[in-house]
Amino acid sequence: MTPAMPGVFQLAGGQTPTADVTVDLGKCTKTAELLRQLGKALSFPDWYGANFDALFDCLSDPDVPARIHLHGLGAYLQHQPADFAVLVEVLRAACEARAEAEAPLTVWLDVAADLPLWPGA
């Protein structure tokens, strides 16, 4: 399978990426809930503290899947806009760290956000 372009991208209507893991976050409206769900879905280690620092640490690990689709973030964005912005920054930072480690990470979000559109089909 060809590696995806590294970074955090917004999907345009109907695009479905070839992800290693798709995480359904449609029921998450609180940050602690979202972070716990991510840890569970991505099989983070027991030390994962379900906070943004721990999320960065875990996503920066090259053993974590390289292509992640975060699905259903609309409710979270609506209820936690400031934390959504932090989430996006953490995802971007993890993508940069993985690129430096030559273990690219691509994350797709299917919510309207200030992100580049995924150019792939």
Beta strands in 1-121 (DSSP E): 7-10, 21-24, 67-71, 106-109
Mean pLDDT (the chain, rounded): 92
What is the pLDDT at residue 1? 42
Distance, CA of 111 to CA of 10 (rounded, Å):
7
CATH of domain 7-109: 3.30.370.10
Domain edges within the chain = 7-109
Which DSSP category does 60 fall into? T
Res. 30: pLDDT tops 50? yes
| pLDDT tens figures, 47-95 | 999 999 999 999 999 999 999 999 999 999 999 999 999 999 999 999 9
Give the mean pLDDT of 2-12: 80
Confidence of residue 2 (pLDDT cuts 50, 70, 90): very low
CA 28 to each of CA 59, 84, 96: distance values in angstroms, whole numbers, following the listed order: 19, 12, 26
Mean pLDDT of 44-49: 95
Question: How large is the average pLDDT for residues 28-43?
Answer: 97
Single pTM value for the model: 0.92
The pLDDT confidence band at residue 107, using thresholds 50, 70 and 90, is very high
